[in-house]
């Protein structure tokens, strides 16, 4: 049962253009959504997050949008740079028990920014 | 560099064998998480420890077990290995384990032949 889905395994974008990565979820109990970025031979690193009570969060070139009614979130990167080429994972946080929080990850989208 | 270290980087073994993966969290982090990433899959949460105690359990098989030691490093033990256990295994750590940011290690790539 995949509760967080990234339906596009790959995306190619020209340098300077906008990259839009999408993520859909099914569980209404998620309270936070996060994007992680992963380079080859490294672990994922946190990029940006958004609370379930907000619809937008911006950090420099990165903006995350949350549409709760559609259970959809997206990550916008503007302008895209070659160094942004990586795998991007969407993750959703939920309360597993007491104060414990778990993350459920999507399968990732490989972003390639072409110079 | 996240500050989380994992050893070994690569491990090749045969079906039926047992292996141990090791993780050292960032200095000051009390919580450790283990994740499995199989081919074309997202990271699957396996188990979480906080200050030596198991805090949460995910889709961890009975053949797998973990523990966190007094010095806060953690080990993931995988036994009776099957071909399908071939995957990247990531360890992450956080300060409290209560939803704060997780920092990931570089992973251990396990290949079962």
Band the pLDDT of A29: cuts 50, 70, 90.
confident
CB contacts of B7 in chain A (<8 Å) are none
Query: Nearest Cβ partner of A105 from B42, B97, B106?
Result: B42
Q: What is the CA radius of gyration of chain A?
A: 14
Residue to substitute from B6, B43, B103, B104, interface A, most A β-carbons within 10 A: B43
The predicted structure's pLDDT at residue A113: 98
Note whether A39 contacts B: Cβ–Cβ < 8 A.
no
Q: Using 50, 70 and 90 to split pLDDT, how confident is the model at A100?
A: confident
> Euclidean distance between the first and final Cα of chain A, in Å?
38
Q: Over the range A18-40, which residues count as b (16 or more CB within 10 Å of their CB) and which as e?
A: ebbbbbbbeeeebebbbbbbbee
Neighboring chain A residues of B87 at a CB cutoff of 8 Å? none
Q: What is the pLDDT of residue B52?
A: 95
CB atoms B104 and A44 under 8 Å? yes
Asked if the model's pLDDT at residue A2 lies above 70, the reply is no
The CA distance from A49 to A90, in Å, is 10
- Structural tokens at position B7: 């050893």
Specify whether the CB–CB gap between A113 and A81 falls below 8 A: yes
CB contact under 8 A, B56 and A106: no
Per-residue pLDDT of chain B (113 residues; tens, 9 = 90+): 889 999 999 999 999 999 999 999 999 999 999 999 988 778 999 999 999 999 999 889 999 999 999 999 999 999 999 999 999 999 999 998 777 889 999 999 999 99
Structure tokens at A92: 């959703």
Task: Answer whether A46 sits within 8 Å of B97, measured CB to CB.
Answer: no
């Amino acid at each position: 049962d995949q509760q967080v889905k990234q339906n596009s395994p790959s995306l190619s974008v020209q340098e300077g253009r906008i990259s839009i990565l999408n993520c859909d979820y099914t569980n209404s109990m998620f309270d936070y959504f996060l994007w992680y970025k992963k380079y080859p031979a490294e672990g994922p690193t946190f990029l940006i997050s958004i609370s379930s009570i907000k619809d937008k969060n911006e950090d420099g070139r990165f903006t995350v949008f949350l549409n709760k009614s559609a259970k959809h979130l997206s990550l916008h990167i503007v302008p895209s740079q070659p160094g942004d080429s990586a795998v991007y994972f969407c993750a959703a946080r939920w309360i597993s028990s007491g104060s414990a929080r778990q993350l459920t990850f999507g399968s990732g989208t490989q972003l390639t920014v072409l110079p | 560099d996240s500050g989380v270290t994992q050893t070994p980087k690569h491990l090749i073994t045969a079906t039926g064998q047992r292996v141990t993966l090791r993780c050292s969290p960032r200095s000051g982090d009390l919580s450790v998480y283990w994740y499995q990433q199989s081919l074309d899959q997202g990271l699957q949460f396996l188990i979480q420890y906080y200050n030596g105690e198991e805090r949460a359990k995910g889709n961890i098989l009975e053949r797998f077990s973990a523990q966190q030691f007094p010095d806060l490093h953690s080990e993931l033990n995988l036994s009776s290995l099957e071909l399908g256990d071939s995957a990247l295994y990531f360890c992450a750590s956080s300060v409290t384990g209560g939803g704060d940011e997780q920092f990931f290690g570089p992973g251990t790539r396990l290949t079962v032949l």
